[in-house]
Structure 1
């Protein structure tokens, strides 16, 4: 398990890289406003559903239910449930992943939280196509081969700079899988699973269920039923503060000033 210093170094590198991009917390706020505007305008529901896919569901869940990447981890007593709503094509989700993804993953792997992941398709609805849904299905294919966390990170790192109906190039999935450590028979099984879009209908069902529950944008973070304002977790220099977020997530107690508001 990496140290807080290791995590902070990675986050600062993401926020201060040579690309010269803006502070991730500020960027998150701007894009969230854009997504909310699109939802209000009714654009979110313009998606088409033309891709054929399988109707398999991940082990232990049924259609519409979130995916738990660590079902066999022994939870500590009183471990809270943390729900993450994300879309592999959502730019703010990538910001969220770079800032807090490793921290959340480590808490889940250590049994400090029960992690539920809701794979959503918001960007499909905005741009058309079903690349978000296909990407979500591919992540579950990687999970079947024991590479959920690694593939999750690699796929977000390869998010297209501009979102169109084409979405991820098909070559992205095997590239991300190999970077995640899959090879040989595992890579072959992943490729077969991905090419047949084995979990596509499941991802669609999660999108539908989460939207009906009121989660129409991404990313969203919920702890024991309380939605967290994750963008408010910043240190004195304005950089994301994963240690502060970890304390809230593992305790299950969200301070009033960290509760998300509409």
Structure 2
């Protein structure tokens, strides 16, 4: 308000001066008015446009050159990554050189004495005697003659492991076939028949034999073993698996 009074006084004095000039009574050297009060600060202007990139700085001392730091210590080994896909097969390489000659082969061929095998068949409709050796009259195979047809028994001449098997036809009567080893029963195969039926039974097992030990077949009261020409056969076989 004080400022308003000063401005008003100044304007009033000026008006009086002008009036005196018009009447030629205003003094020639009038006194200037008082300075006005400073105005309030203005608001900041808008940001200017970004300037161009400056030149690189220089070292503190002109003669010093920026040096590269020393290599740091290796970091800790990371975990293995996932297994990648298999690559394509490469080109097949050239053939290698021939290998060294092998050891000589075993001279035991087809003419070796360490062979033993037989197959015999029963060519009769007559039933075998109960609890007696089953006789096989027809010799099919008898390598080195180790099956004695007269006794109906196989006699071991080569100690080792043998495999024995039989195929027996039976008709309208039960059948039990017992494999004997030096008067000891090893195994008993039985087949119980129905009336007016006919079938074939079989059995086999491996046996270790010493020299001159014997193997044969017997029946008991179930002795329905028979042969009927081409319609049915009963066969007993054995062969050496491994000599000891």
- Give the TM-score of the pair, scaled to structure 2: 0.20
Max Rg structure: 2
- Give the TM-score of the pair, scaled to structure 1: 0.19
Which structure has more helix as a fraction of its residues?
Answer: 1
